[in-house]
Chain A
Amino acid sequence: DTAVSQTPKYLVTQMGNDKSIKCEQNLGHDTMYWYKQDSKKFLKIMFSYNNKELIINETVPNRFSPKSPDKAHLNLHINSLELGDSAVYFCASSQDRRGSLTTDTQYFGPGTRLTVL
């Protein structure tokens, strides 16, 4: 069974379009994340949800909107796609609970390679 899954694996779209990426984890974890990895492999946190509550909201254009319908799912919707949005987007999850003094191991999904033409 896949622990953290994402769909789609590849996404090719035109500038200006709106697209969504879905993520699901079956690990029973409380926290989920979205990361963006650019062409230089720089892995940057975008958002984090703990039990459906937004915890981390980094400096990301407001065209990006995460949504967590339940603690096992975290989706990412992107409006008005731009060329610079091309990257690999990784979803991850961890057992982290609010107020915990340590950061738990994060388990990454396979990634979604987004190409904006």
Chain B
Amino acid sequence: QQPVQSPQAVILREGEDAVINCSSSKALYSVHWYRQKHGEAPVFLMILLKGGEQKGHEKISASFNEKKQQSSLYLTASQLSYSGTYFCGSGSGNTGKLIFGQGTTLQVKP
């Protein structure tokens, strides 16, 4: 089943923070975050493999709450380059299958 992302869309000013949530009705074995800019391919941001894990990449970080079957992506002091659609993916072992959420569109304005 597809993970559900919230919010569906968010508009920010440069320098503001945002949180994108991803929740699943089924157990999450791993959570993958991707960003897709308009007309381009999805690009990998980070993967969280264990409950309680937190990761960071410059001013973008994520957490994974295995018990709640949720993950959150945190964007701090957003930049114009952060604009795009963010997808979380629920991973299952064995096959490499990723089921993506419906996406969250982030627009950062000057």
Contacts and interface: CB of A to CB of B under 8 A. Distances in A.
Given A43-B100, A102-B91, A106-B98, 15 more contacts: A33-B96, A43-B87, A45-B99, A48-B96, A50-B96, A55-B95, A96-B95, A99-B94, A102-B30, A103-B29, A103-B93, A106-B44, A108-B42, A110-B40, A110-B41
Interface of B: 29-30, 32, 36, 40-44, 47, 49, 85, 87, 91-100, 102-103
Nearest to B47: A105
Q: Which of A50, A102, A108 is the most central at the interface, judged by chain B CB atoms within 10 Å of its CB?
A: A102
Nearest to B31: A103
Given A110-B40, A110-B41, A55 B32 contact: no
A59 to B, nearest CB: 13
A50 B30 CA distance: 20
Contacts of B30: 102-103
Contacts of B96: 31, 33, 48, 50, 55-56, 94, 96, 100, 103-104, 106
